[in-house]
Structure 1
Amino acid sequence: MLATVDKIFKVELMKMPPSLQNTLMGDLICEEEASASEVSIAIR
């Protein structure tokens, strides 16, 4: 389940412009502690 969600999230993230990706990642990290998957997506 989590792997599927992670895969969908990555695909959706790829479709977004870089500025929106940065904003989205910043919001996720601020709202809650970043999980390992979020951090790895942000780094890539």
Structure 2
Amino acid sequence: FRQAVYTAIDIFRNRRNERDIHKNPLQKQYYEKRDDSDKLKLDTIEED
């Protein structure tokens, strides 16, 4: 019974940690290749 309790605690902690890790993912630095009209241009300088 003790092993089942500790296993349940480990599962709960792992799921909570996994949720926290994936809560705020980084923004994509690229777009899909299907549509070339919305390419993200990182090397261009905008002039006002």
TM-score, normalised by the number of residues in structure 2: 0.33
Greater relative CO (CA pairs within 8 A, separation 6+): 1
**Structure whose CA Rg is larger:** 2
TM-score, normalised by the number of residues in structure 1: 0.36
Greater helix proportion: 1
